[in-house]
Amino acid sequence: MVKEWYSHFRPDEHAFVDRAAEWLERAAERHEIKVTDFLDPRQASILETVANRYAAGDAAFALNGGYPGAERQRGILVPGYRDPLDVDPGIRVLAIKPADDKFIKLEHGDYMGSILGLGIKRDKVGDIHVLDDGCHCLVAAEISDYMRLNLQQVHRTHVQTELLPLAELRTAITEFEEINLSVASMRLDGIVSDLCRLSRAKAQDPIRAGRCRVNWKVEEDPSRSLQEGDVLSIQGFGRFKLLQVEGVSKKGRIRLKAGKFK
């Protein structure tokens, strides 16, 4: 049955489709409870799609990222007679703070790099909130003590760590570096060209090489049409969001406001 669903997904997503179907099958037929690692929004969308196609009532699922509006979330799969919201999602808050009193500006990539440097897999880490005085990071409970004990330095800065309950999570407002564009169309290659300051031909290289994601899904078609609200990740150039289509100029070009995630 699962292979019948493959047409809705990219070939490189089939393995995750299989895993999602297996989780649901185990919940429905073996009465198992499964809490997944942190899923990106694309994986969460796949899980939801597979769950909706699965036998109604046999299994139930929910997503939990530790707070409303979380980007990365853990999936909770249970037998149909259980409420997934009653299951502990296994998420802890790791508070990270520079050890000295000097003002040190650390960025998202600094924290992420140091966490991965411990040998932690990315899917064990949820959203990272960079604050004025440090960072609050959502992490899987099963590796939270290891991280608290072993994360001692971020980008050559010594840090102190503490585990907090979810109720004490402090979230950061997403900040963008705004970019104003004037594009001939909403084609992916044209927008990537302007965002990354590449020629139209050069902009097609990372797209065709599979290094561009649109809404967390690999997109290799340079002619793909984008729309307001889309999120683009271009390997080596950063992550962007199309914030607003502001209208059309007298010359017929589209005025577009984009934001680069800081």
Higher pLDDT, 164 or 108: 164
Q: What pLDDT sits at residue 173?
A: 83
From 13-27, 89-103, 123-137, the region with the lowest mean pLDDT:
89-103
Q: What pLDDT sits at residue 175?
A: 79
- What average pLDDT does the structure give for the chain? 91
Point out which residues pair with 74 in neighbouring strands.
38, 64
| φ and ψ at residue 186, rounded to 5 degrees | -95, 20
C-alpha–C-alpha distance, residues 147 and 155, integer Å: 16
- 231-262 b/e with 16+ CB inside 10 Å = b? bbbbeebeebbbeebeeeeeeeebebbbbbee
C-alpha–C-alpha distance, residues 254 and 251, integer Å: 9
Which burial class, exposed, middle or buried, applies to 119 when counting CB atoms under 10 A from its CB (0-12, 13-18, 19+)? exposed
Higher pLDDT, 119 or 102: 119
The string of pLDDT tens digits covering residues 40-92 is 998 999 999 898 877 667 899 999 999 999 999 999 999 999 999 999 999 99
Residue 193 has a CB neighbour count (10 Å cut-off) of: 20
Q: Are 157 and 177 in contact (CB under 8 A)?
A: no
Q: What pLDDT sits at residue 107?
A: 85
For the chain, the 3-state helix, strand and coil shares in percent, each to the nearest 5, are 30, 35, 35
38 contacts: CB under 8 Å, gap ≥ 6 = 65, 72, 73, 74, 123, 124, 125, 126, 138, 140
Q: What domains lie within the chain, and their CATH numbers?
A: 2-86 (3.30.1370.160), 91-168 (3.30.70.330), 176-261 (3.10.290.10)
- Whether the predicted pLDDT of 176 surpasses 70: yes
Q: What pLDDT sits at residue 253?
A: 93
Confidence of residue 109 (pLDDT cuts 50, 70, 90): confident
- Whether the predicted pLDDT of 29 surpasses 60: yes
**For the residues 18-32, what does the mean pLDDT come to?**
93
C-alpha–C-alpha distance, residues 198 and 54, integer Å: 44
Q: What is the DSSP letter of 171?
A: -
CA-wise closest residue to 240 among 218, 260, 256: 260
* Percent of the chain scoring above 70 in pLDDT: 97
Q: Are 172 and 202 in contact (CB under 8 A)?
A: no
C-alpha–C-alpha distance, residues 244 and 176, integer Å: 13
Higher pLDDT, 144 or 2: 144
Confidence of residue 174 (pLDDT cuts 50, 70, 90): confident
Confidence of residue 2 (pLDDT cuts 50, 70, 90): low
CA-wise closest residue to 238 among 206, 261, 215, 209: 261
Q: What is the DSSP string of 197-224?
A: T--HHHHHHHHHTT-EEETTEE---TTP
**For the residues 243-248, what does the mean pLDDT come to?**
93
Could you give the strand order of the β-sheet that contains 59-64, starting from the edge strand earlier in sequence? Answer: 34-39, 73-79, 59-64
* Percent of the chain scoring above 90 in pLDDT: 74
C-alpha–C-alpha distance, residues 253 and 251, integer Å: 6
C-alpha–C-alpha distance, residues 261 and 175, integer Å: 6
The string of pLDDT tens digits covering residues 192-205 is 999 999 998 999 99
The string of pLDDT tens digits covering residues 232-244 is 999 989 899 999 9
Q: What pLDDT sits at residue 104?
A: 72
